[in-house]
Structure 1
Amino acid sequence: MIDAHSAGILPCQAIEDLIAQEAIGSLTPFDADQVQPASLDLRLAERAWRVRASFLPRGKRVKERLLDVSMHELDLTKGAVFERGCVYIAEVQERLALPGGVAARGNPKSSTGRVDVFVRLLTDYGAAFDDVAEGYEGPLYVEIAPQTFSVLARTGTRLNQLRLKRGLVPHLSTRDVGVDLSTGMVGFRGRRHAGVIDLDKEDGHDPRDFWEPLEARNGELLLDPNEFYILASKDDVVIPVLEAAEMTPIDPAVGEFRVHYAGFFDPGFGAEETLSKGSKGVLEVRSRETPFLLEDGQTVARLVYEPLTAQPQRLYGEGGSHYLRQGLKLSKHFRPWK
């Protein structure tokens, strides 16, 4: 059961308790691997809508607001292409009836962020993206806005995840994250006008059709305006087993870029027995309107560490992960770079 006396992120066994209590429900049975060490993967349902603008419900149900902005409906049971530069709203299979004291936060999965798909969680009456109010009862939706590549998704595709929390969760520590631009190939830049990426097809795309490899010169990399980059952290990252972390953007005053769509790091990331000091963090970087010269070691993001209410019964990487012991690595949709 959930420890009612501690504030923190809920581990996998507490999430499974909420599922057993029907505080987290689903239109279909849950998948065996859906619960992660400190988060729950969310799955697309059967319908999505192309909308003319992003919105927040702000005191209304999502479906009420869709009446004002919807352009046409997509049937996800047959698969549908979400085109870059367009905005969509999709139903999620999971729904919530959270007990008092329990809230949640959504975030794109690593594989979603690495193909530059902007995904944000919506709830009925919500006044902010990704935040789920304490005790929320109702359906979930996601806003989907591909930026660089058009993508193919279908019912069951997992684009984002839910982290559940009890109470006012304290920040245990923060750590600045620098970028590695030291030697050799240091990153990739997304190719515009590439083909469609099937989000359920692992190792099924030739990376050369979608990415341009990059080398730094004298420890520097020029970011072109409105381009998307995959880079790696300068230092290795380790997440202790009793903590979880979230990568957050830094103050935009320090540079004309942002690290793309802050990401969750599960407990145990980089702490596998075969690792001596951790694992690289992959950075999804989008430049803004002005060219910017990025330097080796320059701070581009910040890791915020938060406590768990209990040690999870499973840690990151147990049972395998595409990103286990990762270095500079593209998303799971692409074959290894050769």
Structure 2
Amino acid sequence: MTISGGTGVLPAQAIEAMAARHEIRAPEPFADGQIQPASLDLRLGTRAFRVRASFLPGRGRSVAERLADFTMHEMDLTGGAILEKGCVYVVPLMESLSLPPGLSAVTNAKSSTGRLDLLTRTIADSGTEFDRVPEDYTGPLYAEICPRSFSVLATPGLRLNQIRFRRGEAKLGDDALRALHASDRLVTGEATIDEGLAFSVDLSPEAGEISGWRAKPHAGVIDLSRTGAYDASDFWEPVRSDRGGIILDPGAFYILVSREAVHIPPGYAAEMAPYIAMVGEFRVHYAGFFDPGFGHAAAGGAGARGVLEVRCHESPFALEHGQVVGRLIYERMTEPPRTLYGSGIASNYQGQGLKLSKHFRPA
């Protein structure tokens, strides 16, 4: 497939060039691994504001102005501070932007953030939407953080969300997606393509096998800076599907996995999106971007599947094996990145199946 040289998602080498031109600014140099193949991790600053409600600044207003209206108290993150379950915080990020004409940005929570049910969204001055930064934007960025299943310990420099830069229209239409699947096989099994590539949930009735995890309601605090530090059993209970389905409990949070293996070829990036905004009585919500090379055999990712973060709402809902729950939206890169996901960059989830966040020891 031919990759457009002018429009698309910017790769790592272009992000480095943006920093050199001061289109991305920060008070200290980028950390190792902060630049991903098709995105940049954003770092928490030193202060957090406990606010009484989530908010957007609105046109012509800054986040700092609105913080004066909503702040309950201010916290210093320098020595670490606990962000409590059920509360809303706004944290100024280290990175700020001065975007040139024609370049916009979109943000999303990183994979490990979403797998902790840690709602993290980016706010920009004059913003009317979360996680969207318009062309020509110059100004600071903020993270809104709401822990929903576990309280967490946060420190400056933590990377909970990430930003992806786009020039022009990058999304593949269905015809282009079918052609890409024909040449590069994007998903195992039959491909269902309708405004993206559909995927389903794996709840196959394998005797004794774990089909997913459900967050325990009264678990302890998770230090976000620690990797492989916690036993899964202290925070999660296993979910088994002996009959090819499970019943989702209202208010509960689940980690499940897609039935299909996923492939992102080197010249493309992808993002998970809901199949429809609401399916029955549950919401499937996703964190993180899929970088070029995820699931790519040459980068060690053959058989990688998508992890699903599922929350049930007002009434119990029966979720069945093979039920379509989401879709992958593919985008062109302006050029392939120099390094693919998983290729010597310590990627946490290459080749994954059902997997909790990096904070937990393998179950």
- Range into which the TM-score falls when normalised by the shorter chain: over 0.9
What is the CA–CA distance in structure 1 between the aligned matches of 2:102 and 2:299, rounded to whole Å? Answer: 38
Shift of 1:262: 4.5
RMSD: 1.5
Determine helix, strand or coil for the equivalent of 1:278: coil
TM-score, length of structure 1 as denominator length: 0.96
Corresponding residue for 1:203?
228
What is the CA–CA distance in structure 2 between the aligned matches of 1:81 and 1:262, rounded to whole Å? Answer: 22
TM-score, length of structure 2 as denominator length: 0.90
What is the CA–CA distance in structure 1 between the aligned matches of 2:57 and 2:324, rounded to whole Å? Answer: 35
Corresponding residue for 2:310?
285
Equivalent residue letter for 1:107: N
Corresponding residue for 1:245?
270
Q: Percent identity?
A: 54
Shift of 1:125: 0.7
Give ranges in structure 1 of 5+ residues lacking alignment.
none
Cα deviations by residue, 1:256-299 (Å, 9 ceiling, x for unpaired): 11222443100000003275853111111111111100000101
State which drifts further: 259-268 or 135-144: 259-268
Corresponding residue for 1:6?
6
CA gap 1:274/1:128 in 2 versus in 1, 3 angstroms: closer
Q: Are 1:258 and 1:300, in contact at CA under 8 Å, matched by a contact in 2? A: no
Q: Are 1:244 and 1:307, in contact at CA under 8 Å, matched by a contact in 2? A: yes
Cα deviations by residue, 1:175-226 (Å, 9 ceiling, x for unpaired): 1110000022100000011000111100011111000001003101110011
Q: Are 2:282 and 2:311, in contact at CA under 8 Å, matched by a contact in 1? A: yes
What is the CA–CA distance in structure 2 between the aligned matches of 1:63 and 1:252, rounded to whole Å? Answer: 31
Q: Structure 1 residue aligned with 2:219, among 173, 194, 208?
A: 194
Q: Are 1:84 and 1:148, in contact at CA under 8 Å, matched by a contact in 2? A: yes
What is the CA–CA distance in structure 2 between the aligned matches of 1:44 and 1:253, rounded to whole Å? Answer: 31
Q: Are 1:11 and 1:309, in contact at CA under 8 Å, matched by a contact in 2? A: yes
Instruction: Spell out structure 1 runs of 4+ moving beyond 6 A.
Output: none
CA gap 1:4/1:283 in 2 versus in 1, 3 angstroms: closer
Corresponding residue for 2:69?
68
Shift of 1:33: 1.2
What is the CA–CA distance in structure 1 between the aligned matches of 2:287 and 2:77, rounded to whole Å? Answer: 27
Q: Are 2:294 and 2:301, in contact at CA under 8 Å, matched by a contact in 1? A: no
Shift of 1:251: 1.6
CA gap 1:122/1:252 in 2 versus in 1, 3 angstroms: closer
What is the CA–CA distance in structure 1 between the aligned matches of 2:282 and 2:27, rounded to whole Å? Answer: 39
Q: Are 1:118 and 1:261, in contact at CA under 8 Å, matched by a contact in 2? A: no
CA gap 1:106/1:201 in 2 versus in 1, 3 angstroms: same
Corresponding residue for 2:142?
141
What is the CA–CA distance in structure 2 between the aligned matches of 1:167 and 1:192, rounded to whole Å? Answer: 44
Shift of 1:250: 2.1
Corresponding residue for 1:221?
246
Determine helix, strand or coil for the equivalent of 1:15: helix
Corresponding residue for 1:31?
31
Determine helix, strand or coil for the equivalent of 1:16: helix
Corresponding residue for 1:98?
99
| Pairing 1:169–2:195 present | no
Q: Which has the larger share of strand?
A: 1
Corresponding residue for 1:46?
46
What is the CA–CA distance in structure 1 between the aligned matches of 2:214 and 2:150, rounded to whole Å? Answer: 12
What is the CA–CA distance in structure 1 between the aligned matches of 2:231 and 2:4, rounded to whole Å? Answer: 49
What is the CA–CA distance in structure 1 between the aligned matches of 2:17 and 2:225, rounded to whole Å? Answer: 28
Alignment of 1:267-282 (within 5 A): 267-273=292-298, 277-282=302-307
What is the CA–CA distance in structure 2 between the aligned matches of 1:219 and 1:273, rounded to whole Å? Answer: 33
Corresponding residue for 2:359?
333
Q: Are 2:81 and 2:154, in contact at CA under 8 Å, matched by a contact in 1? A: yes
Determine helix, strand or coil for the equivalent of 2:107: strand
Cα deviations by residue, 1:225-250 (Å, 9 ceiling, x for unpaired): 11100011101000011110000012
Cα deviations by residue, 1:121-163 (Å, 9 ceiling, x for unpaired): 0001111100001111000001000101001111001100000
Equivalent residue letter for 1:166: R
Equivalent residue letter for 1:192: P
Determine helix, strand or coil for the equivalent of 2:258: strand
Corresponding residue for 2:153?
152
State which drifts further: 61-70 or 267-276: 267-276
